[in-house]
Amino acid sequence: MTEVIQQDVRTGVEAAEKIARHLWTMPVLASDALGWQGLIARRYLNVQPAYVEIPPLDDNILVITLRGASRIDGRMARRFSGEIAAPGSSFLAPCGIASQWYNSHAIDILHLYVPPLTLTRLITDSGGYTAEPIELRPLCSHADPLLEQLAYGLLHEMSSVQLQGQLYANTLIQAIAAHLLRHYSSATPQTQAQIEPRRTSLTPVRLRQVFDYIQEHLEQDLSLAHLATIAHLSPYHLTRLFKEATGLSLHQYVTHQRVERAKQFLQESDLRIADIAAQVGFHDHAHLIRHFTRLVGISPGNLRKIVHGGRKDVQGSNSSKD
């Protein structure tokens, strides 16, 4: 089957949706409603053999093969033939370049639509400057374990009923943008160096301000952008420097603090475990149990039994079940 996308389609999402209506099924997962900043992710299952022509788009489109294997032929700036899409392989269609694609067999794929602004903002938010647009170069059947790992992190976040939240997803997005900028872009070494954090940028005072804000807003879906504003850093710099200073990623630190706050509630109150989960910012009861058991070594219910000598929750005997 053949699909030729009209020239008035400008974004990767629009192009994929038009192809999906004619050749694919609609995506089984999408990040549109999750509040992510910097890219949109879509998962398509069982993409059948087809020939597709796509005009120049405003997005860079990164495609990760998830399952299946297929021969891929086509053109992106130059013609390519006999490339293999297998689990983990990456294809990158840069913005502004018309492309043609033919897949010989059905495959499952993850699309990441990355606007050029995401890359330039990584530089400008870091206090840098670039006079020229940042362009990515095409990739065909490329193996990049780190890029694959980051993409799978976003896929897992989309598919999980226990969402980790914007802080986790946007940290991954920042890492993907930086990786693309470093390894697959037209940016000069001088431009790339502008995103590297200065080791003295996260002062003890600003680190304490970040700590305090997290403690005061643990129940909320914390924003990476807002934490970066508090630290007077770019989101990417904050994630890098925070881990250097604490040994934990921002998301890991927040998870630890939520568990510690939950432990305090378990020891000092008779709140139901489901209510504690909500008050410390976990998605639900099961989300709290999973992280609490992993970090503390016992479940919340068992800790409460130890602390209260086996006394049940006064607000319901079912509340402390694991």
Look at residue 131 in the predicted model and tell me its pLDDT.
60
Residue predicted with more confidence, 163 or 66: 66
Query: Domains of the chain: which residue ranges?
Result: 2-191, 197-247, 253-307
Task: Name the range with the highest mean pLDDT among 123-127, 133-137, 180-184.
Answer: 180-184
CB 270 within 8 A of CB 314: yes
pLDDT averaged over every residue in the chain: 89
- Domain 2-191: CATH superfamily is Jelly Rolls (2.60.120.10)
Whole-angstrom Cα distance, residue 285 to residue 271? 12
CA 2 to chain centre: 32
Note the pLDDT tens digit of each residue in 246-288.
999 999 999 999 999 999 999 999 899 999 999 999 988 899 9
CATH number of 253-307: 1.10.10.60
Q: Which long-range contacts (CB under 8 A, 24 or more apart) does 305-311 make?
A: 307/266, 307/267
Look at residue 130 in the predicted model and tell me its pLDDT.
67
Q: How confident is the model at residue 21 (pLDDT cuts 50, 70, 90)?
A: confident
Whole-angstrom Cα distance, residue 226 to residue 167? 10
Look at residue 5 in the predicted model and tell me its pLDDT.
86
Domains 2-191 and 253-307 share a fold: no
Note the pLDDT tens digit of each residue in 31-61.
999 989 999 999 999 999 999 999 999 999 9
Q: Which helix (H) or strand (E) holds 285?
A: helix 285-296
CB 249 within 8 A of CB 240: no
Tokens coding 280: 């410390």
Note the pLDDT tens digit of each residue in 63-82.
999 999 999 999 998 999 99
Look at residue 190 in the predicted model and tell me its pLDDT.
76
